[in-house]
Amino acid sequence: MLRLLAATTLAMGLLAAPVLAQDAKDTLTIDLPNDAATLDPHLQWDTDSYTIYRNIFDNLVTRDAAGEIVPQIATKWSYENDTTLDFDIRDDVTFHDGSKLTADDVAFSINRIIDPALKSPQFSQFSPIDKAEAVSPTKVRITTKSPYPAMLAQLVKLSIVPKAYLEKVGDQGFNAKPVGSGPYKLVDHQQGVRTDLEANADYWRGKPPFAHVTFRAVPDVSTRIADLKTGQADLVRDVPPDQAISLKDDPSVQILSVATERVGYMYMNAQSGPTKDARVRQAIAYAIDQQGLIDALLQGYGKPVNIIGAPPVFGYTDAVEGYAYDPDKARELVKEAGAEGAKIEFLTSPSYNRALVEALQQMINDAGLDTEITSTDQATFLKRRQGDPANAGSVAIGRWSCACQDADGIIYPLFRTGSTWAKYSNPDFDAAVDAARSTLDEAERLKDYKTAYEILRTDVPGIGLYQDFAVYGANPHLTWQPTPNESMFVMDMAWKN
Amino acid sequence: MLGYALWRLLQAAISVFGVITIVFVVMHFSGDPTLLLVPQGASAEQIETLRHQLGFDQPVWVQYLAYLGGLLQGDFGQSVVQRAPAFGIVLSRLPYTIELAIGALIVAIGVGLPVGMLMATYRGTALERALAAVVLTGQSVPTFLSGILLIMVFAVQLHWLPTSGVGDVRFLVMPSIALGALSMSTFARMTRIAMVDELGKDYVRAALARGLSMRAVVLRHVLRNSAIPVITIAALEIGNLLAGAVIVETVFAWPGIGQLAIQSIQSRDFLVVQVIVLLISFIYVATSVAADFAYAAIDPRIRLAR
ipTM: 0.79
Residue-number span of the structural domain to which B215 is assigned? 86-268
Q: What is the rounded distance in angstroms from the CA atom of residue A475 to the CA atom of residue A321?
A: 41
Q: Which chain B residues are within 8 Å of A40, Cβ to Cβ? A: 83
Rounded Cα distance, B218 and B214, in Å: 6
Q: How confident is the model at residue A9 (pLDDT cuts 50, 70, 90)?
A: very low
CA distance B216 to chain A (A): 30
From chain B, pick out residues whose CB is under 8 angstroms from the CB of A19. Answer: 167
Mean pLDDT, residues B197-207: 83
In a domain, B189, yes or no: yes
Instruction: Flag whether B76 is in a domain.
Output: no
User: Please, which pLDDT band fits residue A53 given cuts at 50, 70 and 90?
Assistant: very high
For each of the domains in chain A, give its residue range(s) and CATH number, in order of start.
2-40+48-53+168-258+470-495 (3.40.190.10), 61-167 (3.90.76.10), 261-468 (3.10.105.10)
Mean pLDDT along residues A318-325: 93
In this predicted structure, the answer to whether residue B72 has a pLDDT above a threshold of 90 is: no
pLDDT at position A18? 39
* pLDDT of B262 above 70: yes
Question: Quick check: is B133 in a domain?
Answer: yes
CB contact under 8 A, B99 and A9: yes
CA dist B143 and A220 (Å) reads 13
Q: Look at residue B40 and tell me if it is in a domain.
A: no
A317 confidence band (pLDDT: 50, 70, 90): very high
Q: Do B255 and A193 touch (CB under 8 A)?
A: yes
* B292 pLDDT above the threshold of 80: no
Instruction: Name, in order, each residue with C-beta under 8 angstroms of B98's C-beta and a sequence gap of 6 or more.
Output: A5, A8, A9, B242
Please give the backbone phi and psi of residue A464, each rounded to the nearest 5 degrees, phi first: -75, 145
The confidence score (pLDDT) of residue B141 equals 87
Strand bridging mode A343-348 / A395-400: parallel
B53 touches chain A (CB under 8 A): yes
Residue A74 DSSP one-character state: E
Q: What is the pLDDT of residue B174?
A: 92
Q: How confident is the model at residue A426 (pLDDT cuts 50, 70, 90)?
A: very high
Q: pLDDT band for B163, please (50, 70, 90 cuts).
A: confident
pLDDT tens, residue by residue, A76-130 = 999 999 999 999 999 999 999 999 999 999 999 999 999 988 888 888 888 889 9
Longest dimension (CA), chain A: 77
B223: domain CATH number is 1.10.3720.10
CB contact under 8 A, B43 and A386: no
The pLDDT value recorded for residue A482 is 93
Helix (H, G, I), strand (E, B) or coil at B57: coil
Q: Which residue of A has its CA nearest to B147?
A: A223
The residue-averaged pLDDT of A399-422 equals 91
B119 belongs to a structural domain: yes
3-state secondary structure of A250: coil
pLDDT tier at B33 (50, 70, 90 boundaries)?
confident
Q: What is the pLDDT of residue A20?
A: 43
Of A219, A229, A409, the CB nearest to B253: A219
Say how many Å lie between the first and final Cα of chain A, rounded. 52
The separation between CA A108 and the C-alpha centre of its own chain, rounded to angstroms, equals: 25
Whether pLDDT at B168 is above 80: yes
Say yes or no to pLDDT of A23 above 80. Answer: no
Contacts of A171 in chain B (CB under 8 A): 83
User: DSSP string covering B272-285, please?
Assistant: HHHHHHHHHHHHHH
How much is the average pLDDT of A269-294?
A: 95
Kindly indicate the confidence band of residue B1, based on its pLDDT and cuts at 50, 70 and 90: low
Q: Report residue A338's pLDDT band, with 50, 70 and 90 as the boundaries.
A: very high
* Mean pLDDT across chain A: 90
Q: Is B14 within the bounds of a domain?
A: no
3-state DSSP assignment of residue A299: coil
Chain B residues whose beta carbon lies within 8 Å of the beta carbon of residue A217: 253, 255
* Number of domain units in chain B: 1
Share of residues in chain B with pLDDT > 90 (%): 6
Residue type, A491: M
Identify all chain A residues contacting B154, using CB atoms and an 8 Å cutoff.
Answer: none
Structure confidence at residue A277 (pLDDT): 94
Predicted pLDDT of residue A313: 92
The answer to whether the Cβ–Cβ distance between B53 and A45 falls below 8 Å is no
Is B268 within 8 Å of chain A by CB? Answer: yes
Asked if residue A170 has pLDDT above 80, the reply is yes
Residue A134 has φ and ψ, to the nearest 5°, of: -85, 115
Q: What backbone phi and psi angles, to 5 degrees, belong to A442?
A: -65, -40
Confidence at residue B36, expressed as pLDDT on a 0 to 100 scale: 82
CB contact under 8 A, A222 and B151: yes
* Residue B289 located in a structural domain: no
Residue of A146, A210, A188, A211 lying closest to A480 (CA atoms): A210
User: For B89-120, what is each residue's pLDDT tens digit?
Assistant: 999 898 999 999 999 999 999 999 889 888 98
Q: Is residue B223 part of a domain?
A: yes
Q: Residue B2: what pLDDT? A: 67
Q: What is the pLDDT of residue A31?
A: 94
- Count the neighbouring beta carbons within 10 Å of the beta carbon of residue B29: 11
Find residues 196-225 of chain B whose CB sits inside 8 Å of chain A.
none
Cβ contact A12–B152 (<8 Å): no
Contact in structure between B149 and B137 (CB atoms under 8 Å):
no
Query: Choosing among B164, B247, B263, which should be mutated to test the A contact, i.e. which has the most A CBs within 10 A?
Result: B164
pTM recorded for the entire structure: 0.84
- Provide the pLDDT for residue B244: 64
pLDDT digits (tens, 9 = 90+) for A340-389: 999 999 999 988 999 999 999 999 999 999 999 999 988 889 989 998 99
Q: What is the pLDDT of residues A81-91, one digit of tens each?
A: 999 999 999 99
- A297 φ, ψ to 5°? -105, -30
Interface A:B, Cβ pairs < 8 A: 180
pLDDT digits (tens, 9 = 90+) for A218-252: 988 989 999 999 999 999 999 999 899 999 889 99
Q: For residue range A438-465, what is the model confidence (pLDDT) as tens digits?
A: 898 999 999 999 999 999 999 999 999 9
- Cα A93 from chain centroid (whole Å): 28
How many Å apart are CA A129 and CA A123, to the nearest integer?
10
CB contact under 8 A, B31 and A380: yes
Mean pLDDT for the stretch of residues A19-38: 77
Contact across the interface for B36 and A379, Cβ inside 8 Å: yes
Residue B122, min C-alpha distance to chain A (Å): 34
How many percent of chain B have pLDDT more than 70? 95
Rounded Cα gap, residues B265 and A220, in angstroms:
17
